[in-house]
Amino acid sequence: MSSPYGPAGGYPQWGQVPPGAGMHPGGYPAAPPGYYAPQPPQPHGNPYLGHQPPPFATAPGFGAPPPPKKRSPLPWLLGGLGAVLVTAVVLVLGFVTPGWFVRSVFDASSVEKGVTDILQHSYRLSGVGQVSCPPDQPVVPGHHFDCTASIGAEHKTVTVTVKNDKGVYEVGHPK
């Protein structure tokens, strides 16, 4: 018998399994080739305890976490550049301009020579011999230290007073 929609038996009626399609072992009908058919649920875990969800199951639609983003080297470069800049500023300010790290001291041999010249020319003393001054005296205004000078056959003490931070000093009269 013929149908207004085509030959009889060519297409299955609603709810019927198409001809030639078998049944899966779980009781689900097999889909014709090219169609998706749901698979029967597979038991997980211990078969004596019944159905258990798979370990570390994820919610539907969620997979593995996305791979971590590659970080930009820009923050490291900027941090390194900032550290180099700060170090350069500290070194310049510490050693050059204000000189926080530099402690100016007198050269003992230069001060000895200067004291000898002042004793001979300014004080007009004759017989000025060896002058000895302590080393590493700071160039600080108001600081004073004692040098020893042999004048004639005697050893005398000469007080040196620092006048300013440029290294100008005053030589006192020998005592």
Whole-number Å distance between alpha carbons of 169 and 146:
12
Q: pTM for the complete prediction?
A: 0.46
- Give the Cα separation of 172 and 146 in Å (integer): 9
CA angle 168, 174, 175 (to 5 degrees): 130
46 vs 131: CA distance, rounded Å: 103
pLDDT by residue, tens only, the chain of 175 residues: 555 655 555 555 565 555 555 555 555 555 566 655 556 565 555 555 555 555 555 555 566 777 788 888 899 999 999 999 999 998 888 887 767 777 788 999 999 999 999 999 999 988 899 999 999 899 999 999 999 999 988 999 999 999 998 889 999 999 8
HSE-up of 167 (CA within 13 Å, CB side)?
10
